[in-house]
Amino acid sequence: MFAFLKKASEVTIFAPISGRIIDLSQVPDEVFSKRMVGDGIAIVPSDNVLVAPCDGKITQIFSTNHALGIQTPEGLEILIHMGLDTVELKGKGFTRLKEVGSEIKCGDPIMEFNIQEVEKLGKSTITPVVITNPDKVSSLKKGEGPVEAGISVVMSVKVKASGA
């Protein structure tokens, strides 16, 4: 009844890995560059440890450990896809540190991502970080430039108030 009194909340998404932000339109994979799975940013990584970009729960980890899903307490769904076409590596270069269902705090190590091995195997290490449920987003402010895992803000997301 009083939906107009409910305020939208803001979620801060921190860098899940150190490196440099690039716009999704620059990602050489149409699924990401055309925002088919959602909007966000991508990071050209410079480090091997992927950390939780926010508080939440791990809802999915692909069997090949190259991608995972996180849900925030506000209901945002975040996909982190380590590298491009890395599913073809069948897990080579990725070491899982947390499991599906794990409650995570911003900065918690989630995955080891051996960027040197992935590059040696001929795959891009560009790591898209996207919000996959854009219907919950009222505004999205994206960061740019160099980022440090767990410290640098990569996105500020205003979540629509429930019932609005």
- Residues labelled as active-site residues: 81
Q: Tell me phi and psi for residue 86, to 5 degrees.
A: -75, -10
